[in-house]
């Protein structure tokens, strides 16, 4: 069995292992864990965040895809607390079933190559999650939290902000990882909005509308939404068909999606 220290990162899995203890401590302080809370980490890797979390909280579940890390993680965690390992691709994990009626807190240094699919997967199980603290590329966090009107504002911004409060916390330089990535990273907090405050009548329809609107972001909505929303339907909810998708607020996208749902 190869030890965690000897494990070589796998580029195909987007692995960049955090090693800077100061960053780890800052993440744990941001979590402000309370006794009895369930915590799940996505992609523990070599355990830089896993073991300090386990020692601080005493009980931790992790979801790890790399089979070469399973036994080393299990062995290293045995003396530190209760470590529960789910060996799976997180995109295949039913997080709602994992919660089993008790919502948990999610944390993780997400693989760069599948960070957006993971975020959308978590959205599908938002009722099972109290909050999320994720490490991602800074440019992704910038897009997640962007306001309408800027170049960073797009599909990811609208979809996440429709369901969550997105709060960037701090930037992490490349040197905090092995191997160092070529870009800065950042830690972000996401808090799912109360279910009764999300006024989206048809989630699939809303997602399809947002995706189509940003498919050709340099074109006007009259063109990008052709076949899905007519100029009259846009004007009915106060949207200028001559505007571009990046100028619309999250609330405007929701209003248009709901209008289309109620007047097929």
Cα separation of the two ends of the chain: 59
Q: Is residue 77 part of an annotated ligand binding site?
A: no
Task: State how beta strands 39-42 and 104-109 pair.
Answer: parallel
Q: Which residues of 202-228 are buried (b: 16+ CB within 10 A; e: fewer)?
A: eeebbbebbebbbeeeeeebeebbeeb
Confirm if 189 and 167 have CB atoms less than 8 A apart: yes
Q: Does 43 appear as a known binding residue?
A: yes
Residue 109 known to bind ligand: yes
**18 among the known binding-site residues?**
yes
Task: Give me 145's structure tokens.
Answer: 């939290």
125 is in an annotated binding site: no
Contacts of 197 (CB under 8 A, 6+ apart): none
Q: Tokens for 134?
A: 């994720």
Q: Is 16 annotated as a binding residue?
A: yes
Whether the link from the prior residue into 220 is cis, omega within 30° of 0, is: no
Burial of 171 (0-12, 13-18, 19+ CB in 10 A): exposed
- Rounded Cα gap, residues 92 and 81, in angstroms: 26
Known binding-site residues equal 16, 18, 43, 64, 89, 109
Instruction: Could you list the residues known to form a binding site for S-adenosyl-L-methionine, using ranges.
Output: 16, 18, 43, 64, 89, 109
């Amino acid at each position: 069995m190869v030890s965690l220290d000897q494990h070589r990162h796998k580029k195909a899995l987007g692995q960049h292992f955090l090693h800077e203890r100061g960053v780890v401590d800052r993440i744990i302080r941001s979590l402000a864990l309370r006794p009895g809370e369930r915590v799940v980490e996505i992609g523990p890797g070599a355990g830089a965040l896993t073991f300090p979390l386990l020692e601080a909280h005493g009980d931790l579940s992790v979801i790890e895809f790399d089979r070469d890390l399973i036994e080393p993680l299990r062995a290293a965690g045995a003396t530190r607390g209760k470590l529960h390992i789910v060996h799976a691709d997180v995109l295949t994990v039913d997080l709602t079933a994992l919660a089993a009626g008790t919502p948990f807190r999610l944390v993780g240094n997400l693989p760069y190559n599948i960070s957006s699919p993971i975020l959308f997967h978590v959205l599908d199980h938002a009722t099972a999650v109290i909050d999320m603290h994720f490490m991602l590329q800074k440019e992704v966090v910038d897009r997640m939290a962007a306001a309408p009107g800027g170049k960073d504002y797009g599909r990811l911004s609208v979809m996440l902000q429709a369901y969550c409060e997105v709060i960037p916390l701090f930037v992490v330089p490349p040197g905090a990882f092995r191997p160092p990535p070529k870009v800065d990273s950042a830690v972000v907090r996401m808090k799912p909005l109360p279910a009764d405050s999300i006024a989206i009548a048809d989630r699939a329809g809303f997602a399809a509308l947002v995706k189509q609107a940003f498919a050709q972001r340099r074109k006007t909505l009259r063109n990008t939404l052709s076949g899905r929303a007519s100029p009259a339907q846009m004007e009915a909810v106060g949207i200028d068909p001559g505007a571009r998708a990046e100028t619309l607020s999250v609330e405007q996208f929701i209003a248009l999606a709901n209008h289309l749902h109620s007047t097929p």
